[in-house]
């Protein structure tokens, strides 16, 4: 079982739809959960970051973390064609091999989203 599972899609929705993107993970040590957005042939950029469980909202975007289920979500309200991109989840936690310091990011495979006008 891979550490982070993410449905690669592609996911196609009409403009204005609510989009739900999800990742599951197996490592209970993960504490930091990120969503990156990557436009075609570009580097990823950080969209949302959440520490531990809970919700975080930023404009049209909401990130949710459920550590008991090892499940994270990103919701996009009123989706726009400019939201068309690949969305990557990433997570990290303590690195037991490095004195307990924070470990490196583990990425999901990314979900390709297309919002049609």
User: What is the contact surface with other proteins in residues (CB under 8 A)?
Assistant: 6, 8, 32, 34, 41-46, 49, 51, 88, 90, 92, 101-102, 104-105, 107-110
Please, what is the minimum distance in Å from the beta carbon of residue 114 to other proteins? 16
Non-local CB neighbours of 43 within 8 Å, separated by 6+ positions: none
Dig out the tokens for 28 from the structure.
Answer: 């209970």
How far, rounded to the nearest angstrom, does the alpha carbon of residue 113 sit from its chain's CA centroid? 13
Q: Which is nearer to other proteins, 16 or 55 (CB)?
A: 55
- DSSP letter at 28? T
Please, what is the minimum distance in Å from the beta carbon of residue 33 to other proteins? 10
Q: Which is nearer to other proteins, 17 or 84 (CB)?
A: 84
Q: 7-26 burial string, b = 16+ CB within 10 Å, else e?
A: eeeeeebeeeeebebbbbbe
What is the distance between the alpha carbons of residues 54 and 87, in angstroms, rounded to a whole number?
Answer: 20
Please, what is the minimum distance in Å from the beta carbon of residue 39 to other proteins? 10
Q: Which is nearer to other proteins, 17 or 105 (CB)?
A: 105
Please, what is the minimum distance in Å from the beta carbon of residue 22 to other proteins? 15
């Amino acid at each position: 079982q891979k550490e982070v599972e993410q449905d690669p899609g592609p996911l196609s929705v009409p403009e204005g739809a609510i989009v739900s993107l999800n990742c599951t993970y197996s490592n209970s040590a993960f504490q930091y959960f990120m969503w990156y957005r990557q436009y075609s042939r570009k580097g990823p950029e950080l969209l949302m970051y959440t520490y531990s469980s809970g919700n975080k909202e930023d404009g049209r975007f909401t990130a949710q973390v459920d550590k008991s289920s090892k499940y994270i979500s990103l919701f996009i309200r009123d989706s726009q064609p400019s939201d068309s991109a690949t969305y990557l989840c990433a997570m990290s936690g303590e690195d037991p091999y490095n004195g307990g310091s924070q470990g490196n990011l583990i990425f999901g495979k990314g979900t390709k989203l297309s919002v049609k006008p």
